[in-house]
Amino acid sequence: MNSNTPDESDTSPIEGPHPDQGHHGTDPGTATDPGTSWQGAPYENPYTEPHPTATYPPEPHPTAPHPTAGQFPGAYASAPTPSAPAQRSRGIAKPVVATAVLAGLVGGLVGVGGYALLDNGSSSNAPVIASAPAAATNAADAQPGSFTYAAQVASKSTADIKVATSQGTAVGSGIILSPDGYVLTNNHVVSGVGSGAKIQVTTPDGKTYPASVKGTSPSYDIAVIKLDGASGLTPASIGDSGSLQVGQQVVAVGSPENLSNTVTSGIVSALSRTVTAGDEQGSSVTVYNGLQTDTPINPGNSGGPLVNLQGQVIAVNSAVDTGQSSSGGPQAFGLGFAIPIDTAKRIANELMQDGQATKPVLGVSGSLASSNDAVNGAKVTSVQSRGPAADAGIKNGDVITKIGNATIGNYADLMAQILTHSPGETVPVTVSSGGQTKTIQVTLGSTVDKEQTTISERGNGSDGDGSDGSGSGRQREGGRLPFGFGLP
């Protein structure tokens, strides 16, 4: 963990008004010329995505698969070709632009040909296509509560982040927090920064700045970076994730596949999900609590804002569940996860002020192996001496079934729910012990967040006190999602 102290600049706490409520984009199609074979070097992605040490397989582009040598994807297999076609080379720098131009040209040619066939050579009574006059509108007319307004507001405070390492370049997004260049992003976007690594951030005005890591919080997948020499930036409007409702419309802004200021929309699918992923050794499971959304989130979106229709940030985009596609199984869609802004705000304030963040400690140990169908909750296998749980009367063998009003199904749920609270907070804990159920008040402890909160699949795992594992590697068998997979 980088524990640099913050600059002597404005690091006032992040605050924000309550959000309002307010679906949906369509993916652009591509067209190819059935009469021309497009020859040239195959497209190669200049970026590796996202975490240079992650072992996840690369996520496929949602609409444009990589072409094989000598064949542009989507070309008609049976289309005739001229006897001596002129070869056309395709550059690798701007494949999306080239595709868009090609689609426009082909569409125009097909339209002209179709019109000639229907016209049958006569033009005396040919209709003239004209556009109806649009209402006089401009960008300033967008009203709060619309996708357009949310996109305009959020785009002004969303930055592109590139981390160049010896293993390649990780690409992500960030949320501008202050005029002088404090930027919030995901820990997994910048966690590969080491000796010789460089962070470059491009702001909405097109300027590029070098940046350094001010602090990271692995358990929450949050990091804060500081731009060198920045001024006059537009800070994001910070909302309130506590007032969100399922079904509320939201907008994501970021740089998926390195396409700056890409806007997608969707809804809030669930307010509290236990997000799990296996570590590199496959022996532990990393957990955190996330907001679920069906808003399209792709590699490059990580660390970018999820906003309400007022343009207020209500979560930080972090990960997606791709189903079992990495192991040859069914592909999952529309399962994105983001860190609620109420949690991210606390962590970001601590990182800006102190260069490190804290996380709460319950003081118990357990594992997924201790959770089974016969146990409806998280079974405690050991209790930290003189820790918060011990002081409240929780004992070995007790089963925790609720934290506050949140139902606990297993030990992963327990750890994820504890992370939604703050150190020092007193929370009601429902415990089943000796056939009786009781609710007790537990004042949570505190520890510096240096490693991801993990749970052992075989032995004991703790919620803090230095015994946490770390790592964000491959997805475990049957696991829920790859932590931070390609998202950014």
Q: Which residues are catalytic?
A: 188, 221, 302
SS3 annotation, 51-75: CCCCCCCCCCCCCCCCCECCECCCC
**Token pair for residue 191?**
């966690």
Phi, psi of 100 (to 5 degrees): -65, -45
Positive or negative: CA dihedral 414, 419, 423, 429: negative
Cα–Cα dist 40/419, whole Å: 51
Please check whether residue 401 is in contact with residue 439, taking contact to mean a CB–CB distance below 8 angstroms: no
> What is d(CA 486, CA 170) in angstroms, rounded to the nearest whole number?
9
